[in-house]
């Protein structure tokens, strides 16, 4: 069963996200990374992710390999893969994240490096 979502923005030092859908099988977020910012270098033990860039441009690092992303590009992030995205452009970088797995809590983020001192 799909859980109702209020679309409240959750703000982070690098930008914000909104949960669009939250169900036992998957979760969907709209994520905005502000110019010059990046999310932590991280991995997840209980979920994989699929990112689709909507607007802006950036670089995704996935297990040490870097790829430039623009609108219409997508990236698959397997469970336990080390990853991050950085906004290299002058406008917000927006992407849709689909999480698949058996748990979608924020406490499944294992931060390897974080610009903002979070652990």
| Residue 95 CB-density burial (10 A; 0-12 exposed, 13-18 middle, 19+ buried) | buried
Asked, for residue 62, whether it belongs to a domain, the answer is yes
* Alpha-carbon span 30 to 7, nearest angstrom: 10
> How many structural domains are present in the chain?
1
> pLDDT tens digits, residue range 42-54?
999 999 999 999 9
Q: What is the pTM of this model?
A: 0.91
Asked, for residue 20, whether it belongs to a domain, the answer is yes
Q: How far is CA 91 from CA 55, 68, 88, in A?
A: 8, 15, 9
Q: How far is CA 114 from CA 2, 63, 110, 119, in A?
A: 32, 16, 10, 7
Asked, for residue 5, whether it belongs to a domain, the answer is no
Domain containing residue 35: CATH number: 2.60.120.10
> pLDDT tens digits, residue range 10-45?
999 999 999 999 999 999 999 999 999 999 999 999
By residue range, what is the domain housing residue 74?
10-113
> pLDDT tens digits, residue range 82-116?
999 999 999 999 999 999 999 999 999 999 999 99
């Amino acid at each position: 069963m799909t859980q109702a979502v209020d679309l409240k923005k959750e703000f982070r030092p690098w930008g914000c996200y909104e949960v669009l859908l939250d169900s036992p099988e998957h979760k969907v977020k709209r994520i905005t990374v502000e110019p010059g910012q990046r999310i932590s270098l991280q991995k997840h033990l209980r979920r994989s992710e699929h990112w689709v860039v909507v607007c802006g441009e950036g670089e995704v690092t996935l297990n040490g390999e870097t790829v430039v992303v623009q609108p219409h590009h997508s990236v698959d992030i397997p469970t336990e893969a080390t990853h991050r995205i950085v906004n290299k452009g002058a406008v917000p970088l927006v992407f849709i994240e689909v999480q698949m797995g058996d748990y979608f809590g924020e406490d499944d983020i294992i931060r390897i490096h974080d610009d903002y001192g979070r652990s």
